[in-house]
Structure 1
Amino acid sequence: MKKVILMACAVAMLATVQAKPADHAKLSINKNNIKVWTIQNSQNPVFLYKAETTYDTALEKAVSLILDVDHAVQWVPYMGSIKVLSRDDKKGEFLLYMVLDFPFPLKDRDLVVQGKMIKDAQGIITIKNKAVDKGYAKNPDYVRLTHYEGDWTFQKLAHNKIKVSTYGYANPEGSIPLTFVNMFVQQQPYQMLQKMKMELGKPSGIPALPEALR
């Protein structure tokens, strides 16, 4: 079973660091049942983000989609490639290597992601991710991202009704205009949650979740 964690950012290049009370959160997008907040952290000019929506589907189906690494490149925006370096379904731990396909003339990015899958007593599932500067040799064709943290949260609201949240932050490294980066931070999670809805709408069975999430 080639299922492990697909980070949300990975999902592009973002995911989450919790905002401090003093940070300013702005509702940047609110349409198609998707909300995206951008958070200005005084310690970093690059926005953090939080995005959330609800889906009419089973919790297990949504989580399984995120964990389906082989399928990720078909729907996750800017995902060039992704491979599982290691995983332990019993402990809920994993290590991924991914390449992010940035638009020309920007250089593509890559990163190694260490993650953890957790299910709490209320049945809420969280997937936490962070970049690590080890585990895979650097490739001169890519810019290596080392400052990234993020997570996904899945909460059952009713039968076939769930709330999905994703949070994130990443330093894209290199010479990229700040205005471009912050526009990307707003649009990428919105596009991702839209594509996720389309994938969840396709007929399919509900795979068993890893042991750590049962």
Structure 2
Amino acid sequence: MNKKHIVLATLLSLTSFVVTAAEAPKLSLHRNNIKVWTYQTENNPVFQYKAETTFDVPLERAVAVVLDVERTPQWVPYVGKAQLLSRDEKKGEFTLYMVLDFPFPLKDRDVVIKGKMTKNADGSISIKNNAVQNNYPEQPDIIRLTKYAGDWTFQKLANNKVKVTTTGYADPAGAIPLSFVNMFVQQQPYQMLMKMKKEIYNPLYAQPKLPDVLK
């Protein structure tokens, strides 16, 4: 596997809003064939989301976009840097360091992510990610995220049609204005999938090569 290709389940929800009880998923946005649900659970009083859409391309092509770490800042909002720290191609495991560029006056965030990619019995591909404690040095004026989880799922609907689902949450730590929180939890996954819709037709992914663990 080329070094520039690694799983990047990129920084799904980075918002928090404490509530006292669980809430059922709410369809917050439905536009351009993209649906975004927001919800909360009793065990995790942090805004979570699920977003899904379909692309008229083979499953492998959609996965290849998410695996191309070098181009991630081109289509994932707020991602300023993504760096591969380690990988195990046989196990399908990896560790990433990522920096989020938030607008002034908010401080930037960073996170170390441990992920695993698998091909399921039904032919779908899953990428699961969690924040981990790591000795990667913390940077001045950047807040380290320690609570993060996120998944990608790619399901083949036809030879040239794939359903893409992304879910996740993160506690952004520190103070973030409510206006930014409300915008981020709904708009970030929507904007990400809209940009992915363009990126997926980049000639770079015309003949995608996935790691052996996904074949």
TM-score scaled by structure 1? 0.91
Whole-angstrom CA distance in 2 between matches of 1:49 and 1:182? 12
Q: Tell me the SS of whatever aligns to 1:126.
A: strand
Please tell me whether residue 4 in structure 1 is matched to residue 18 in structure 2: no
Answer yes or no: is the 8 Å Cα contact 2:13–2:169 preserved in 1.
no
Name the structure 2 match of 1:100: 100
Q: How does 1:155-170 map to 2 (within 5 A)?
A: 155-170=155-170
1:23-102 → structure 2 map (5 Å cutoff):
23-102=23-102
Q: How far does residue 211 in structure 1 lie from its aligned partner after superposition?
A: 1.3
Computed over aligned residues only, the root mean square deviation of the Cα atoms, in angstroms, reads 1.6
TM-superposed deviation, 1:44:
4.5
Shift of 1:34: 0.1
Alpha carbons 1:64, 1:209 under 8 Å: kept: yes
Distance 2:127 2:83 in 1: 17
Say if 1:8 and 1:166, in contact at 8 Å, map to a contact too: no
Aligned to 2:140: 140
1:121, distance to aligned residue in structure 2 (A): 1.2
* Aligned residue runs from structure 1 range 161-200, under 5 A: 161-200=161-200
Post-superposition Cα deviations, 1:111-151, rounded to whole Å, max 9, x if no partner, equal 00000001011111000000012141111220000000000
* Kept after mapping to 1: 8 A contact 2:58/2:161: yes
CA deviations on 1:30-61 (whole Å, 9 max, x unpaired) are: 01000000003345543100000000011111
Which residue is 1:125 aligned to? Answer: 125
Determine if the alignment matches structure 1 residue 152 to structure 2 residue 136.
no
Deviation beyond 6 Å, 4+ runs, structure 1:
none
CA drift at 1:12: 6.7
Deviation (angstroms), 1:207: 2.3
- Report the Cα distance in structure 2 between the residues aligned to 1:40 and 1:115, rounded to whole angstroms: 23
Equivalent residues of 2:77, 2:192 under 8 A apart = yes
Q: Contact between 1:138 and 1:144, CA under 8 Å: does it hold in 2?
A: yes
For 2:203, the equivalent position in structure 1 comes to: 203
Instruction: List per-residue Cα deviations over 1:8-48 (Å, max 9, x = no partner).
Output: 32x5747xxxxxxx531100000100000000334554310
Residue equivalent to 2:18: none
SS, match of residue 131 in structure 2: strand
* Number of residue-to-residue matches in the alignment: 206
The answer for unaligned runs of 5 or more in structure 2 is 16-21
Q: Is the 8 A contact 1:58 1:161 kept in 2?
A: yes
* 8 Å CA contact 1:79, 1:99 repeated in 2: yes
Q: Aligned residues: percent identity?
A: 62
Deviation, structure 1 residue 179: 4.4
Q: What is the distance in 2 between the residues matched to 1:116 and 1:99? A: 20
Q: Retained in 2: the 8 A contact 1:97–1:113?
A: yes
Please tell me whether the aligned partners of residues 90 and 212 of structure 1 are also in contact (alpha carbons under 8 angstroms): yes
